[in-house]
Amino acid sequence: MPLEIRQFPCLSDNYGFLVKDAETGETATIDTPDAAVIIAAAEHAGWPVTQIWNTHHHYDHAGGNADVAARFNAKIVAPASEARRIPDIDTPVREGDVVELGASRARVYETPGHTTGHVVYHFEDDGVAFVGDTLFALGCGRLFEGDPAQMWSSLSKLRAWPDDTVIYCAHEYTQSNARFALSVDPTNEALQSYAAEVEAKRADDKPTVPTILSAELAANPFLRADDPGLQHAMGHDGDVVATFGEIRRRKDVFK
């Protein structure tokens, strides 16, 4: 039985996600960027939220936990290594754990870099993943608590998933990410056409999330640090981590 997914804007540029296991009706919210908006969406859909799955401790991801948990008596699933920063976790998760949503299952990957304990959830049988602030459409999370080697290793786990995996990122950052990506990889034709699609969608007020892994592998510079042309352009031939670090550094100062 498939998953049913509802996606809606929260705060200034976050997305909220409700995921329902169609067989049992059990529903999770992926993170809690805005408790009031999530509760309203769940009530409107008639999907009581029984689980909260956190990706990391930031306020725009776990800040609504207490209110959502109180409203639905929902259990909190969250990274074990962020237990000091996410209160009242019911199910702490680690690399390789499998979490159940009714009859559906998701595998947990630890993806440190944005925060030390960030995790992502991959519904392997459904080909769907919720990646928080680790991977964005044409971008990746800022390295608040990690270094380039760590983040590249985290992103490499996602790169190994099936090409057609549907990727749900936590923010609508794609338009500015596209402009940056073109600045470091201007001759990439896959990126040029992806960027044109993004401009058209945003002009129409449409979301650019979810994305497909294959599109990111072809166009997202943060997944292409092993590309010889990009390595050369960044001045780090043969060095994937230095190339990744240089792309990330340039993004941090890009205007």
Closer to Fe ion at the Cβ: 144 or 254?
A: 144
Cβ partners under 8 Å of residue 171, min gap 6? 13, 14, 15, 133, 136, 209
Residue 26 interacts with Zn ion (CB under 5 A)? no
**Does the protein bind Zn ion through residue 58 (CB under 5 A)?**
yes
* Site for Zn ion contains 171 (CB under 5 A): no
Mark the segment that binds Zn ion (CB under 5 A) among 68-76, 91-99, 131-139, 223-231: 131-139
Q: Work out how close the CB of 145 gets to Zn ion at its nearest, in angstroms, rounded to a whole number.
A: 10
Within 200-239, the residues that bind Zn ion by CB under 5 A are none
Exposed, middle or buried, 170 (CB in 10 Å: 0-12/13-18/19+)? buried
Q: Taking CB under 5 A as the rule, does residue 172 contact Zn ion? A: no
Q: How far is the CB of 142 from Zn ion (least distance, A)?
A: 8
Q: Is 57 in the site for Zn ion (CB under 5 A)?
A: no
Phi and psi based region of residue 49 (left: phi greater than 0; alpha: psi -120 to 50; beta: remaining)? beta
Choose between 114 and 224: whose C-beta lies nearer to Zn ion.
114
Q: How many CB atoms neighbour CB 22 within 10 A?
A: 13
Rule CB under 5 A: say whether 133 interacts with Zn ion: yes
Quote the tokens at residue 59: 């306020």
Q: What residues act catalytically?
A: 56, 58, 60-61, 114, 133, 171
Separation CA 88–CA 68 (nearest Å): 13
* Nearest distance from C-beta of residue 186 to Fe ion, angstroms: 28
**Cβ-based nearer residue to Zn ion, 125 or 144:** 144
Residue 170, φ and ψ in degrees, nearest 5: -85, -10
User: Can you read off the two tokens belonging to residue 147?
Assistant: 């270094």
Query: Total residues contacting Zn ion (rule CB under 5 A)?
Result: 2
H helices of 73-212, where?
Answer: 148-159, 174-184, 189-203
**Residue 20, contacted partner among Zn ion, Fe ion, none, CB below 5-8 A by kind:** none
Q: Which of 243, 245, 215, 208 is nearest to 228 (CA)?
A: 243
| β-strand partners of 16 | 8
By CB under 5 A, name the binding residues for Fe ion: 60, 133
We find the least distance from the C-beta atom of residue 58 to Fe ion, in angstroms, to be 5
Query: Stretches 99-107, 127-135, 173-181, 213-221: which one binds Zn ion (CB under 5 A)?
Result: 127-135
Q: Are 99 and 77 in contact (CB under 8 A)?
A: yes
- Nearest approach, Cβ of residue 97 and Fe ion (Å): 22
CB closer to Fe ion, 119 vs 240:
119
Chain contacts with Zn ion (rule: CB under 5 A): 58, 133
